[in-house]
Structure 1
């Protein structure tokens, strides 16, 4: 057994050193496809091994072996499970083969902190399907310096600041046959700077538009790099070196979308305000992104859910107007999320829009005896709808990025929101209902 582990680690080391190669994993019982490492229920992730079933989740393997080596076996579970691979930061193309020679499969696939890539994929009895997507992983180190991002204490437990790619397999009958992971240095990176309305939310039921955004883009073409964090202001984003991290990763042709305002409006002090300090920070953001050959895109603050007589009441003061003015003066693209989200939430209606935000009765989540009534932070459905508004903004601004939106993704009309029941989201583990910072 020890000899087997040593041989496996040597194989892994060879693949890991040759970063340009693909890493390939064959799941379940049956023959291992040539060039693939076998993954069984007992293949548990460790830093030494470099890959395996992770975060204490349990899986079982197929009982009946199929015909083709690549898809003759699978791993599955009646609960969401995780598979991690130790990797350096970067963008990666991921291929996942799903299906069952003897039965059906039903899977949702997410990565890192609940980033949605496959909303739901169902295969019929005896059928298999290959799905592909492009994912970014990162660490807190800032290349070219000795500095790191100043993480908040809770961020050390997040899945998006470590040294591995973590995939979550969810839904009722996930049947995972094989995985291939390949570095992608050509994809356009789309960096997201923002607060809790943008962040990759770590735990149910809170979510934000940034973690839904990767779902909409063609595999191999675009990688979403979400550097947003709950509670941040634009000035705080810069001070915590999150912006320095972004610039250290940016290459010519990449995009940088910036949406703040919710927390910035609470900052106090002489001269602090939307048309002073905030506008100055936006101009600095634009200038530095352009120096790197990137494309800055300004995004106005998404509306809070505050209704009066059936209409959304503006709660963000002068901050949306300051963003609009800066975009005009600096001649950079604008996504007016503030205006679009007003239309969206009003079209939903005062009561139905509760289903877009984190409103839940007392006792709905472990450790949270009181009711949740949050009119700033979204549940997954609301985050998905707002992500569609950002997508509409990309198209309306005629960004080249719009060419990389999946051809199957229709135009979105905020006056015609999706029905709540049409959105599929089996909950991820981690239902702690910890409220994000900020409001």
Structure 2
């Protein structure tokens, strides 16, 4: 993975966000932002269009420099650029017209590095349209008592892109180029909520990644994904910090709730959540609550850690938690994605050396300010998170789960026993990195 630019991006420090949060949202209906001439549907974007600046500051380029070119009605640059719009909680359909005068390969991420458009190539002069749905949320909990009406965010989450009062898009790749950005609120699409830990979360900084933030790229605009997982969580702390309350304040009939916990629940000490005790009780509780809301629960067993025996086989380090999740799924007739088993196949196919390319293993100075070697056998880089997401998507199709009709039609089949060649994996590195946040989780 190439070294990142020397620019330091601190996701929690969003210029002007606090002042803008209390003002009315820019758009109650649809709006289109054009890199060409302004229209009746929205304004023209220029290098001076900056989020948080001036009276037009409810939309604009954000976090880094604006695109370097606006020629021919196209915003393009040799470097990544960001665009933000101040918006309240909800689901928003985003339609992008991508491409420009020169060839380009554009990757689009939303919020905290959620992959929405995966390396879309356009020839010189060509235009391709991509549509997807982005879930925007804040810590406020609808219907909660005023004295406890917010999620208890960790310090690192306060002001982060997944929890602020705006929708942010990252345009990245080889000459990333966009002609227009159309955004409108949507209420008639189901939402897949993700509840889990750091192996699921929208990891906001390179080089970490998780399967939850890769999943949106595989789904079309008929489904929204609200990844509310967070690093360090057990199922008990997820409840105690009111993260489940946040989900259940908006979940509705026809939605989905995927639950994956284990990595932190098993840690010995005061925070341990016994597999056959509180862990099972809380999984059962939230399965029942989802069904009571008319939503469909989906259970996910936790993926394995990078621990091999001398014969190159994965060592099961997660105790009884995967077995308990399978047991609940069978007893309650709940859909199960057995990522524990899928990851065993995937990691053994990669082998002890190959998995070094999927987990966060990097020599010192691979990234700005990273002066020590990274050796993490639990968390993934972009390649590892992407491969896990592909295994999940294929399993959804294989089981013909209710989520399957929402998948994009052109997704090639995937066999976890035959992972993608890491040498051919070219997902561009996001510039989201901060020296103020220690490496590691």
Q: State TM-score, norm by structure 2.
A: 0.89
Per the TM alignment, residue 59 of structure 1 is displaced from its structure 2 partner at its CA by 2.0
1:272–1:232: structure 2 CA closer, same or farther, 3 Å change rule? closer
User: Any conservation in 2 of the 1:15–1:22 contact (CA below 8 Å)?
Assistant: no
1:104-253 pair list within 5 angstroms? 104-145=103-144, 146=146, 147-219=149-221, 221-253=222-254
Kindly report the root-mean-square deviation, in angstroms, between the aligned alpha carbons of the 2 structures. Answer: 2.0
User: Any conservation in 1 of the 2:26–2:87 contact (CA below 8 Å)?
Assistant: no
User: Any conservation in 2 of the 1:40–1:61 contact (CA below 8 Å)?
Assistant: no
1:331 to 330, 333, 341: 333
Aligned to 1:407: 409
Aligned to 1:43: 49
Aligned to 1:60: 68
Q: Deviations over 1:151-186 (max 9, x none)?
A: 000001410101100000001201211110011111
Q: Deviations over 1:284-327 (max 9, x none)?
A: 11111111111111111110011112110001011111111111
**Which protein has the larger Cα radius of gyration, Structure 1 or Structure 2?**
1
Aligned to 1:314: 316
1:326-365 pair list within 5 angstroms? 326-365=328-367
Aligned to 1:85: 85
Per the TM alignment, residue 424 of structure 1 is displaced from its structure 2 partner at its CA by 2.2
Per the TM alignment, residue 434 of structure 1 is displaced from its structure 2 partner at its CA by 4.1
User: Any conservation in 2 of the 1:362–1:372 contact (CA below 8 Å)?
Assistant: yes
1:352 and 1:172 mapped to 2: Cα distance? 27
1:123 and 1:74 mapped to 2: Cα distance? 13
Gaps of 5+ in 1: 1-8, 66-72
Q: Helix, strand or coil for the counterpart of 1:343?
A: helix
Per the TM alignment, residue 271 of structure 1 is displaced from its structure 2 partner at its CA by 9.5
User: Any conservation in 2 of the 1:25–1:37 contact (CA below 8 Å)?
Assistant: yes
Per the TM alignment, residue 270 of structure 1 is displaced from its structure 2 partner at its CA by 11
Aligned to 1:3: none
User: Any conservation in 2 of the 1:216–1:409 contact (CA below 8 Å)?
Assistant: yes
1:124–1:374: structure 2 CA closer, same or farther, 3 Å change rule? same
User: Any conservation in 2 of the 1:114–1:202 contact (CA below 8 Å)?
Assistant: yes
1:362 and 1:350 mapped to 2: Cα distance? 21
Per the TM alignment, residue 349 of structure 1 is displaced from its structure 2 partner at its CA by 1.2
1:24 and 1:287 mapped to 2: Cα distance? 41
User: Any conservation in 2 of the 1:199–1:227 contact (CA below 8 Å)?
Assistant: yes
1:61–1:325: structure 2 CA closer, same or farther, 3 Å change rule? same
1:304–1:92: structure 2 CA closer, same or farther, 3 Å change rule? same
Q: Helix, strand or coil for the counterpart of 1:265?
A: coil
Q: Helix, strand or coil for the counterpart of 2:331?
A: helix
1:370 and 1:186 mapped to 2: Cα distance? 48
Q: Helix, strand or coil for the counterpart of 2:342?
A: helix
Aligned to 2:34: 26
Per the TM alignment, residue 267 of structure 1 is displaced from its structure 2 partner at its CA by 4.4
Per the TM alignment, residue 119 of structure 1 is displaced from its structure 2 partner at its CA by 1.2
Per the TM alignment, residue 13 of structure 1 is displaced from its structure 2 partner at its CA by 7.2
1:258-297 pair list within 5 angstroms? 258-268=259-269, 272-297=273-298
User: Any conservation in 1 of the 2:202–2:212 contact (CA below 8 Å)?
Assistant: yes
Q: Helix, strand or coil for the counterpart of 2:125?
A: coil
Q: State TM-score, norm by structure 1.
A: 0.90
Per the TM alignment, residue 391 of structure 1 is displaced from its structure 2 partner at its CA by 1.4
Aligned to 2:9: none
User: Any conservation in 1 of the 2:266–2:272 contact (CA below 8 Å)?
Assistant: no
Alignment coverage as a number of residue pairs: 412
User: Any conservation in 1 of the 2:79–2:175 contact (CA below 8 Å)?
Assistant: no
1:253–1:14: structure 2 CA closer, same or farther, 3 Å change rule? closer
User: Any conservation in 1 of the 2:92–2:183 contact (CA below 8 Å)?
Assistant: yes
1:362–1:13: structure 2 CA closer, same or farther, 3 Å change rule? closer
1:194 and 1:270 mapped to 2: Cα distance? 16
Q: Deviations over 1:322-376 (max 9, x none)?
A: 1111111122111111011001100111101111111101111122211111111
2:25 and 2:120 mapped to 1: Cα distance? 33
1:270 and 1:427 mapped to 2: Cα distance? 35
- Relative contact order, higher structure (CA 8 A, sep 6+): 2
Aligned to 2:373: 371
Q: Helix, strand or coil for the counterpart of 1:307?
A: coil
